[in-house]
Amino acid sequence: MKNVIVFIFILLGIHLQSASFLQLDEKCSKGHMPSCFQLGMMFESGETVRLDYAEARRYFKQACSAGHTKACIRLGDIYEREIGVDKNLAKARSLYEKACHKGDGEGCYYIARLEENNHHINKAVQMYDQACRKKFAMACSSLGIMYDFGRRVKKNATLARKYYSAACKLDKSSCSWLGNAYENAKLGVKQDDAKARYYYDKACKGNNAEGCYKLGNFYYYGKSIKKSYSKAVLYYRKACSLGGFGTAEGCNNLGVLYSQGKGVKKDRTHAVKYYKKACKLGYYDACRQFKE
C-alpha cells in the first residue's frame, strides 16, 4: 500500500514531504471549499505539486461554484491573463462580478480595472469606490492616486486624501502616501514631520519599502529628530530587503553608510554589494560607485 501511495505522489509530481495534499484533496471531495481553493493555488503556482493550470482551473471552478469568492477571482484572473487558456474577458468579468456581488471588494476592484482599461472612467471610479467601501485597500489607493495626480480624472486633493486615509486604515503598507503628504505639505495638509514619520513608520511596519526608506532618511539627516546612523541602517536595510519603490534607494543608502562607516563598521565589500543591488534595480547613481 505504501508503494502505491508513493507511486501516486510521483505521478502527481508531489514532493513526498507534502503529505498534506492528500488531506486537502479528501477535504475538498467532502465539500470543504477552502481546501479546493488551496489545491487550485498549489497547482497554479507549482508549489509542492507539478505546475498544472488545468488542475488549478478545475479546483477553482469547483470552489467558485460553491460560492468561494477568492476562487472566482483567481479563475477570472486566469481567463483575463490567458494562463493556460484563451483570453476571455467576458468570462473573467462574470467571475469577478460573482465575487463582487457576494461582497468581496477584490472582485469589484478587478471590474474597475477592466472598466479603466476600456476607458470607461466614470464606471471605473464607481467600481473602485465600491471596492474601497467593501474594504479592499488597493482600490482606495487607486482612487487616491487618480485624484492626487489627475490620472484620468480632475485633480482633487480632498478626495485623494480621503481615499489614501481609507487605504491606510485598511492596510498599513498604504500609509506612505499620507507620510509623503505631510512631509511635503501636499493634498491640503500643513507640513508636519512628526505626522510624516508616524505614517512612514506604519507603512514600514506593513513592509512598505518606501516607508522604511523615508523613515531612514529622517534618521540619517536628523530631520526634526535626533540623528542616528544606526537607526538609519536598520530602516535602509529593511527597505532594501523588500520590493517596490524605495527598495533601490534603501540599498543605495545602505551602501553609502557602509562606504562611510556610519552606523556600521566601514566595509567596502558590503558597500559594493548594496550598490550593485541598487544598480540592478535601476538606481543608476549607484552603478558608478562600484566601478570607481
Q: Model's pTM, two decimal places?
A: 0.88
Q: Examine the pLDDT at 145 and tell me if it is beyond 50.
A: yes
Percent of the chain with pLDDT over 70: 93
Q: Report which DSSP code applies to 189.
A: -
- Whole-number Å distance between alpha carbons of 80 and 192: 43
Average pLDDT score over residue span 209-238? 97
Q: What is the pLDDT of residues 170-192, one digit of tens each?
A: 999 999 999 999 999 999 999 99
Mean pLDDT, rounded, of the chain: 93
What does the pLDDT read at residue 47?
83
What does the pLDDT read at residue 262?
97
What does the pLDDT read at residue 182?
98
Instruction: Among 13-22, 73-82, 282-291, name the most confident range.
Output: 73-82
Q: Look at 155 and 12; give whichever has higher pLDDT.
A: 155
Average pLDDT score over residue span 72-96? 97
What does the pLDDT read at residue 52?
95
Residue carrying C-alpha cell 488545468: 54
What does the pLDDT read at residue 18?
57
User: Helix (H, G, I), strand (E, B), or coil: what is residue 19?
Assistant: coil
Average pLDDT score over residue span 72-76? 98
CA count, 13 A, side-chain hemisphere, 261: 4
Distance of CA 243 to the CA centre of its chain: 9
Worst-scoring range by mean pLDDT, 11-25, 33-47, 141-155, 174-188?
Answer: 11-25
Sequence ranges of the domains in the chain: 23-90
Q: Which residues contact 159 (CB under 8 A, 6 or more apart)?
A: 143, 144, 147
23-90 maps to which CATH number?
Answer: 1.25.40.10
Q: Examine the pLDDT at 209 and tell me if it is beyond 80.
A: yes
Q: Examine the pLDDT at 17 and tell me if it is beyond 50.
A: no
What does the pLDDT read at residue 290?
75
Q: What is the pLDDT of residues 262-292, one digit of tens each?
A: 999 999 999 999 999 999 999 999 999 876 5
Q: Examine the pLDDT at 2 and tell me if it is beyond 70.
A: no
What does the pLDDT read at residue 15?
47
What does the pLDDT read at residue 289?
87
- Whole-number Å distance between alpha carbons of 14 and 7: 10
Residue carrying C-alpha cell 498534506: 20
What does the pLDDT read at residue 19?
59
Percent of the chain with pLDDT over 90: 90
Average pLDDT score over residue span 203-216? 98
